[in-house]
Amino acid sequence: MTDSSDRLVTGADLARVLAPARRPSPPGGLANVLTFGWRALLKVKHMPEQLFDVIVTPVMFTVMFTYLFGGALAGSPDAYIQFLLPGILAQTVSFTTIYTGFTLNSDIGKGVFDRFRSIPIWRPAPVVGAMAGDTVRYTISSLIVLVIGFVLGFRPEAGAVGIVGALILLNLFGVGMSWIFVVLAMIVRTPSVVMTMSWLVLMPLTFASNIYVDPATMPGWLQAFVAVNPVALLVTAIRELMSGTATASAILAALIGPAVVTAICAPIAMALYARRR
Amino acid sequence: MHDASSPAIETVGLRKAYGDKRAVDGIDLAVRRGSIYGLLGPNGAGKTTTVRMLATLVRPDGGSARVLGQDVVAEADAVRRRISLTGQFASVDEDLSGTENLVLLGRLLGYRRREARARSEELLAAFGLSEAAGKPVKDFSGGMRRRLDIAASLVVTPELLFLDEPTTGLDPRSRNQVWDIIRLLVRNGTTVLLTTQYLEEADQLADRIAVIDHGRVIAEGPSAELKASVGTGVLHVRLAEPADADRAAAILATRCGDGVLRDGDPRRLSVQLADPALATAALADLAAVGVALTDFSLGQPSLDEVFFALTGHPAEAAGDGQPEAPE
C-alpha cells in the first residue's frame, strides 16, 4: 500500500494531540489482562486460518478413523464415534495449546513486546492475557469438533450438561498445559522451532493414549505410560462427563497434569519474562 | 525526588556487557529537558543497549542512570509512567489495524473504551493515517508504520521520548515527515533522545550529539561544534588508475592535511577539508602531476569520516546490521 495522503503532519494538529490532557489513572492488573485477552481475540478474528491449522488434523482423523476403523474396532462407525470423539476433543485442545507459545514467541521476536514492557502495566499481563484469550480458541475449536461429531452420529448421554462440563475441563487443561509452551516460547529463538518442539512433545502424548483404542491390548510398558499420560487421563474424564458417569476422582486425575505443569512452568515463565536482558 | 530542574537524562559510568562483549562501557550523559539529544554511532556501537537501559528494558551492570530525576532500576515503574519508547523495529502489532493498536495501548494505559477510541482517532488524524486506520499494519508502507509507531508512543503524552533509529530504512519523503514530527514534539515540550547512524540526521535535529563507538562516548557537544571539529566538508575523488593511489594520497595530504581516508576500493580516496576552497586547489595539484580522475565530489562528512576525524580509525560495524541486544 502506498501512502496516498501527501498531507504532512501539521503543527496545529500535533500541538492539539500533545496538549497535556487528563492523564488516565493506571488500571488494575485484571483490566490489563482483559485488554490483552481482547488482543488475543483480535488475532483470532484477523487470522482465523491459524485456528483451521489446528482443527484440520483432528477433523480429518475423526472422519477417517470413524469410517476406516469404526467397524473393526467397535462393531460400527456409529458405536466407535461415541468412544472416539471425547478423545479427539482432548487432542484438538492439546494441539491448540501450541499456538499460545507460537504467538507469544512471534510477539517477543518483534518489537511490540518491548513496548508492553516499557509501559506501566502489571508485568505478567501480556502473558496471562494471551492465555486468557486462548480459552476462546480452545472453546471454538472444541465446538467445531463437536459439530463434526454430531454430524457423524455422536450422541452424548449426558447431553448439554456433559458438554459444558467437558468444555470447562478442556479449557482448564489447555490453560494449565500451555505453560510448557509459554516457557518454550521464552527460551527458543523462532516460532517455527517452538512449533517443531511442541509437536515432539504432543505426538507421543496424543498417540500413546486411549484416544483411538482401548489400551487393554497394548504391551504392559505402554499401558503403564498411558495410565499416567495426562492426555489419556483427560480423555477418560471427558468420556465420563459425556456419558454422565463422571467421578470426582477421574476429573481430579485429569487436572493433576495441568496443575503440576502450571506449578513448575508458570514461575519459570514469569522469571524468564521479567528478566531484563 | 523529581523536581522539574533535574536533567531529562543523567547517566554516570553506565555499563552493560553481554558475555565478553562490552556493549556499553562507561557512558556519561547529561540531557537537558526540552531538547533533542542525538546518539550517533555505527551498528553495534551500543546505542540501542543504552536506550534500552534508559527505557527500563535492560538492567545495567554498573553505573547509574536517572531519567527525569528517577532511577531506572529502583524506580523503574515511575520512569515507565513518564517515558515512551519507539524501538528500532516497529513496536506495533502488525496483525492488528492502526486503530486497534492505539486503542489497545489506550486501554492498557487506563483510558475507558470510548476515550481510547477518541484518542486513537485524534492521533491517527494528526499523523495523516485516518484513511488507513482500519487496515492491518502489515499492509502499511514503511513511512506510515513509523508514524503509527510514533503515534503509539504519544497515546499518553510522554515527558521524554526515546526514538531508536527513527528513520532507518525510510525513503527521503517519509524521513522528512518523521523529522518534522520530531521537531514539533520538542516544540511542544517533549524531550527527545534519538539514536542514528546518520550524521546528517543528528545534525538536522539534535541540539547536542554524543558520538558513540565501542560502548563509549568518543565526542560530545553541540552539533555545530562537533561538525566544526570534523571540518566543513569532504572531497571524494575516484582515480582512473588504482596505481596512482599512493601518489594521489600524498598530494592530497600535502594540500589538505592529514585527514586522508582510503577504503577497500583502491581507486577511491577522501580527504577532510578545513575550508571548501581547498578542494579546487587539491584537484589542480592532482591534474598538474598527471593523476587522472574519473569522478570527484564535495560532500558532507559521512559517519565514517566523522569517526576517522575523531578516532583516527574508520567506524567498524560490530553488528553487521543485526540488532545489538543479543537474545
> Closest partner residue to B93 among A14, A26, A112, by Cβ?
A112
- Tens digits of per-residue pLDDT, A40-67? 889 888 888 877 777 787 788 889 989 9
Measure the CA–CA gap between A254 and A247, rounded to whole angstroms. Answer: 11
Contacts of A39 in chain B (CB under 8 A): 93, 96, 104
**Secondary structure of B57-84 in HEC code, one letter for each residue:** CCCCCEEEEEECCEECCCCHHHHHCCEE
Q: Which domains does chain B have, with CATH numbers?
A: 9-228 (3.40.50.300), 232-300 (3.30.70.2190)
CB A189 within 8 A of CB A275: no
Beta strands in B68-207 (DSSP E): 70-71, 83-86, 160-164, 191-196
pLDDT at B313: 67
**Secondary structure of B289-311 in HEC code, one letter for each residue:** CCCCEEEEEEECCCHHHHHHHHH
Measure the CA–CA gap between A13 and A6, rounded to whole angstroms. Answer: 15
Of the candidates B63, B80, B42, the residue with the CA atom closest to the CA atom of residue B162: B80
Asked whether residue A6 carries a pLDDT value surpassing 70, the answer given is no
CB B197 within 8 A of CB B40: yes
Would you call A17 and B122 a contact, using CB atoms and an 8 Å cutoff?
Answer: yes
Q: Read off the pLDDT of each residue in A195-208 and give the average, rounded to a whole number.
A: 89
Asked whether residue A184 carries a pLDDT value surpassing 50, the answer given is yes
pLDDT at B316: 57
Of the candidates B281, B276, B286, B279, the residue with the CA atom closest to the CA atom of residue B251: B286
Would you call B85 and A1 a contact, using CB atoms and an 8 Å cutoff?
Answer: no
Measure the CA–CA gap between A256 and A173, rounded to whole angstroms. Answer: 9
Least confident piece of the model among A25-29, A185-189, B145-149, B300-304: B300-304
pLDDT at B264: 75
Task: Report residue A184 as a C-alpha cell.
Answer: 518454550
| pLDDT band at residue A13 using 50, 70 and 90 as cut-offs | confident
Q: Which is it for strands B268-273 and B260-262: parallel, antiparallel or unpaired?
A: antiparallel
Measure the CA–CA gap between A249 and A226, rounded to whole angstroms. Answer: 17
pLDDT at A88: 93
CA dihedral for A250, A254, A257, A261, sign (positive or negative): negative
Measure the CA–CA gap between B287 and B255, rounded to whole angstroms. Answer: 13
Alpha carbon separation from B266 to B238, B244, B256, B288 (Å, rounded): 9, 9, 20, 21
Of the candidates A40, A53, A23, the residue with the CA atom closest to the CA atom of residue A131: A40
CB A233 within 8 A of CB A91: no
Domain ranges, ordered by start, for chain A:
27-274
Asked whether residue A11 carries a pLDDT value surpassing 70, the answer given is no
CB B171 within 8 A of CB B142: yes
Alpha carbon separation from B278 to B112, B275, B308 (Å, rounded): 64, 6, 19
Measure the CA–CA gap between B273 and B275, rounded to whole angstroms. Answer: 5
Would you call B128 and A42 a contact, using CB atoms and an 8 Å cutoff?
Answer: no
Which contacts qualify for A187-193: CB closer than 8 Å, 24 or more apart?
A187/A272, A188/A105, A189/A109, A189/B327, A190/A105, A190/A109, A191/A102, A191/A103, A191/A105, A191/A106, A191/A109
Is A256 within 8 Å of chain B by CB? no
Asked whether residue A2 carries a pLDDT value surpassing 50, the answer given is no
| Element of type H or E holding B103 | helix B98-108
CA dihedral for A113, B163, B125, A31, sign (positive or negative): positive
| pLDDT band at residue A8 using 50, 70 and 90 as cut-offs | low
pLDDT at B165: 92
Where do we find the cell 562507561?
B26
First to last CA, chain A: 36
pLDDT at B51: 95
Would you call B56 and A9 a contact, using CB atoms and an 8 Å cutoff?
Answer: no
Contacts of A13 in chain B (CB under 8 A): 125-126
Is A45 within 8 Å of chain B by CB? no
Q: How far is B255 from chain A (nearest CA, A)?
A: 46
Q: 3-class DSSP state for residue B259? A: coil
Asked whether residue A144 carries a pLDDT value surpassing 60, the answer given is yes
Nearest CA in chain A to B119: A17
CA dihedral for A200, A206, A212, A218, sign (positive or negative): positive
- The reply to whether the predicted model has a pTM over 0.90 is no
Of the candidates B234, B243, B246, B252, the residue with the CA atom closest to the CA atom of residue B299: B234
Q: What averages of pLDDT result for each successive group of 10 residues across chain B (327 residues)? A: 75 93 93 94 91 93 94 93 86 92 95 93 90 93 90 92 91 88 89 91 91 91 77 82 89 84 83 82 90 86 70 56 39
pLDDT at B236: 87
Q: How far is A272 from chain B (nearest CA, A)?
A: 12
Q: 3-class DSSP state for residue B225? A: helix
CB A43 within 8 A of CB A103: yes
Give Cα A157 distance to the centre of its chain.
Answer: 26
Q: In this structure, what are the phi and psi dihedrals at residue B216, rounded to the nearest 5 degrees? A: -125, 155
Helices (H), ranges, chain A: 11-18, 29-46, 48-68, 70-74, 77-109, 112-118, 125-152, 159-187, 191-207, 220-228, 230-243, 248-274
Neighbours of B237 (CB within 10 A): 21
Measure the CA–CA gap between B279 and B25, rounded to whole angstroms. Answer: 39
- Tens digits of per-residue pLDDT, B139-153? 999 889 989 999 999
CB B139 within 8 A of CB A5: no
